[in-house]
Chains A and B, each alone.
Chain A
Amino acid sequence: MEASGREAVFGAKEFRYELADLNLTRDDVVEEMGYTCEEGNERGYLCDLAEEAAELAKSNVELRGGFVVVEPDRIDIQKGSIQIDDVVFDSQPIITARLRRAEGLALFAATAGDGLEKISKELMSGDDMLKGYVIDAYASAAVEAVADKLEAELERIVEPRGWNVTNRYSPGYCNWSVAEQSKLFSFLPEAFLGITLTATSLMRPIKSVSGVIGVGENVKRQDYQCAVCDMRNCYRRRVVQSKEK
């Protein structure tokens, strides 16, 4: 029983999705760009373009995600660092504070493939920058939606143990160096989801994300807060602020 239970939770898991599986609307994409699709708004054309992007996405995304849940006895979380086996992640205090009660850690990656990236690049270097940009924003939103889906999968998998999940945290955020992506990928199967890392720790396809999620009885998810991040000149912060005005 314990053995099969272990297997159900720990080790590598991979998922493939269709667009329809994602909780992604044109309104989400337009909001990411700073605007809304509310009735009577003068930028309705952005909503139309987001719909066009969604249509294009149907045959041009490859939505894949997966994670490896690492067992508690392989993990040591200290203030500012996380050790798994003999690999030490210098993940910095903001993140470790949020993971410190975790029992297991899920190392994850997700991608939307490179189809939309290619279309967007072509449009942007040609005569339709705006459409290219909307398609790019759509692809970014799609990969984030895949990561949301992964969080839900993880929640479902650990729930029978009475475990909860934290938010997801990525190398490159909250002072955790992007360069540590290579350490993270060392725990994922070879060529996981078809993602490769460049020498500068950039994932290809570009529309990919990676990170860690804590699991355990005493962890919880928190509302996403700009307050935990020290990036002042972030357009997301600006979008949030302009909505608050």
Chain B
Amino acid sequence: MSELLERIAHVVEKGKVNKAAPFPPALKGEDGADELTKRAVEEGIKPQRILNEGLVVGMMKIGVKFKNNEVFVPDVLIAAKAMKAGMKHIEPFFLSKEVEYKGKIVAGTVAGDLHDIGKNILSMILQGGGWEVVDLGIDVSADKFAEAVAEHKPEAVCMSALLTTTMVNMEAVVKKIRETSPETKTIVGGAPLTADFAKKIEADFYSPDPQGALEYLNSECAA
């Protein structure tokens, strides 16, 4: 891996957005994901490599640390911001197909539930892992999930819920997706969920943390 790509991975992991960003203090005054990704593009490194071997590696590292409780939500958020700053320079190449996502995900918080932070973090980690995420927001009904699946043809639907009274609404989504798009995987998560509950509603996969969902997608659904 080139030194520049390693550096990109490092600044993403540390959440260094750009040179002017005040944090992390240890990288004060140094180039961030913004400058380094731009430089990599200018140096002619293939954009797909910049994504896979630079930006995604940085997000993966922070995702694993988050899963292992070595870091907490704020660190994931600044890493995602750094990733986004780098992605700005890669995005034009999606149009020309020089860069491709691993696949597409539809994500949302289920009906009756208004919580979005957990779902947002999930979306960021999946995007950071190289997946395109269509975020349907909060309070998403089974019909809305099904409509989005018909429109976007994702590899998987990711559902989040924060209360036991709302997680039960995942069952209707799983059922609907089974009926209308059997090849689309259903993944569920959120604080009150358990593997037993996921099994009961026949979801394809349950993960207590976003990284687990990403690992499942990478192994089961990536093109």
Contact = CB atoms under 8 A, between A and B. Distances in A.
Nearest to A46: B74
A172 interface: yes
Interface in B157-203: 163-166, 169, 191-192
A128 to B, nearest CB: 8
Contacts of B113: 200, 202
A172 B77 CA distance: 28
Interface in B61-75: 69-74
Given A198-B112, A206-B114, A130 B164 contact: no
The B contact surface, by secondary structure, is loop
Interface in A186-245: 198-202, 206, 231, 233-235, 238-239, 241-242
B165 A233 contact: no
A233 B70 CA distance: 14
B81 interface: yes
A35 B163 contact: no
A42 B74 contact: no
A200 B163 contact: yes
A121 interface: yes
Contacts of A42: 24-26
B78 A200 contact: no
Nearest to B124: A129
B104 to A, nearest CB: 21
Contact of A130 (B78, B163, B165): B78
B128 to A, nearest CB: 13
Interface string A153-177: 0000000000000000000100001
A5 interface: no
A124 interface: yes
B69 A129 contact: no
Nearest to A128: B81
B81 A129 contact: yes
B103 interface: no
B22 interface: yes
Contacts of A233: 191, 208-209
Max count, chain B CB within 10 A of own CB: residue among A45, A121, A242:
A45
B191 A201 contact: no
Interface in B81-114: 81, 112-114
Given A130-B74, A238-B69, 12 more contacts: A33-B72, A42-B25, A43-B23, A43-B74, A45-B22, A45-B23, A133-B73, A172-B164, A178-B163, A201-B165, A206-B115, A233-B191
Interface of B: 22-26, 69-74, 77-78, 80-81, 112-117, 120, 124, 163-166, 169, 191-192, 208-209
4 A-B pairs closest in CB distance: A34-B72, A200-B112, A233-B208, A238-B69
